[in-house]
């Protein structure tokens, strides 16, 4: 009986993840360790020594923060301010490790329940803008940062986020629909030729066509667009002298030259 009870406990622990931290003291301790690691890395950077505290602690931090059941509690304990410290530039103006930036940006995209007050207190929006505008940041991280900035900006304004990619696709589709069709299919050409025959004859079944009848067309009152492109430019009917007009100095020079030749002839 006791053996069966212990086996049931073991299965329960494996199902609920044994490394999950439930109490507030453990959450506060983890966040305090993260702050200490960030401060220690800044101190080592000032001494021009390798700063590896955050990168060594990253697997443990991500293992806890990626659990959906704990993200609400971490947000209540102001985890965004700690992540801001991890994303902040070092004293020598260098960015944190690429692995740290990628992990935190991916985590922030998955976090739910972020409030306007939490964004204002943590100041993580400035860190996102710093990464987005940094020339050495990777393209994927800039995309993540831009998406977060868009979400948080509309969260601060109480407006729904804008899907820029969908907006661009709609604009392109609308432009394509408004473009004139230069080429048409054989069926369309046949339909147009039939309509033209009926309209030019002016009669259908022995009766003149009137508005509302099949095949009746309004005559164009403006010229249609001409889509033909000339491969060989047509010749001009009038000859034009495209040389530059003579200046007063050139006219005087020619007169003096002519007089000199006449006198010496």
> Do 22 and 102 lie in a common domain?
yes
67 with 9, same domain?
yes
Q: What is the pLDDT of residues 240-251, one digit of tens each?
A: 665 666 677 777
Whether 61 shows a pLDDT value over 90: the answer reads yes
Whole-number pLDDT of residue 22: 55
| Residue 80 lies inside a defined structural domain of this protein | yes
- 249 occurs within a structural domain: no
Q: How many domains does the chain have?
A: 2
Give tens-digit pLDDT for 167-218.
Answer: 777 777 777 777 665 444 445 555 555 545 544 444 445 566 677 677 666 6
Tell me what the pLDDT averaged over the chain comes to. 76
pLDDT of 30 over the 80 cut: yes
Domain identity same for 196 and 154: no
For residue 6, the enclosing domain spans 2-169
Please report whether residue 265 resides in a domain.
no
Q: What is the domain-level CATH number for residue 60?
A: 1.20.930.10
pLDDT in tens, 92-112: 988 999 999 999 999 999 988
Burial class (CB in 10 A: 0-12, 13-18, 19+), 50: exposed
Report which of residues 1 and 260 the model is more confident about: 260
Is 250 part of any domain? Answer: no
198 with 160, same domain?
Answer: no
Task: Give bridge partners of residue 208 from the DSSP assignment.
Answer: 203
Q: Do 189 and 99 belong together in one domain?
A: no
Please give the sequence-ordered ranges of beta strands (E in DSSP) within the chain, or none if there are none.
203-204, 207-208
Task: Please say whether the beta carbons of 146 and 139 come within 8 A.
Answer: no
> Same domain, yes or no, for 141 and 211?
no
Q: What are phi and psi of 19, to 5 degrees?
A: -95, 10
Quote the pTM value. 0.53
Lowest mean pLDDT among 72-76, 216-220, 248-252: 216-220
Q: Is residue 165 part of a domain?
A: yes
63 and 123 together in one domain: yes
* Shared-domain flag, residues 159 and 52: yes
Please state, in angstroms and rounded to a whole number, the distance separating the CA atoms of residues 207 and 219. Answer: 19
In a domain, 195, yes or no: yes
Q: Where is the domain boundary, 212, 228, 244?
A: 228
Same domain, 111 and 202: no
Does some domain include residue 17?
Answer: yes
- Statement to judge: residues 222 and 96 lie in one domain: no
Statement to judge: residues 99 and 191 lie in one domain: no
């Amino acid at each position: 009986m006791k053996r069966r009870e212990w086996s049931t406990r073991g299965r329960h622990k494996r199902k609920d993840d044994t490394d999950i931290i439930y109490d507030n003291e453990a959450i506060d301790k983890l966040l305090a360790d993260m702050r200490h690691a960030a401060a220690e890395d800044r101190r080592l950077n000032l001494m021009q020594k390798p700063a590896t505290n955050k990168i060594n602690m990253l697997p443990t931090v991500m293992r806890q923060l990626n659990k959906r059941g704990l993200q609400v509690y971490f947000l209540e304990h102001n985890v965004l301010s700690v992540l801001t410290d991890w994303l902040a530039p070092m004293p020598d103006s260098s960015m944190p490790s690429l692995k740290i930036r990628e992990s935190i940006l991916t985590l922030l995209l998955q976090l739910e329940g972020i409030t306007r007050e939490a964004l204002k207190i943590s100041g993580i929006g400035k860190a996102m803008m710093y990464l987005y505008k940094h020339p050495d940041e990777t393209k994927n991280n800039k995309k993540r940062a831009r998406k977060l900035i868009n979400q948080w900006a509309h969260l601060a304004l109480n407006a729904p986020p804008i899907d820029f990619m969908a907006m661009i696709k709609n604009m392109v589709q609308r432009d394509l629909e408004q473009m004139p069709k230069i080429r048409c299919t054989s069926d369309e050409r046949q339909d147009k030729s039939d309509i033209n025959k009926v309209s030019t004859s002016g009669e259908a079944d022995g009766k003149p066509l009137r508005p509302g009848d099949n095949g009746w067309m309004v005559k164009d009152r403006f010229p249609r667009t001409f889509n033909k492109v000339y491969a060989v430019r047509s010749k001009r009917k009038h000859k034009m002298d495209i040389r530059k007009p003579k200046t007063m100095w050139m006219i005087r020079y020619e007169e003096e030259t002519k007089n000199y030749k006449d006198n010496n002839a």
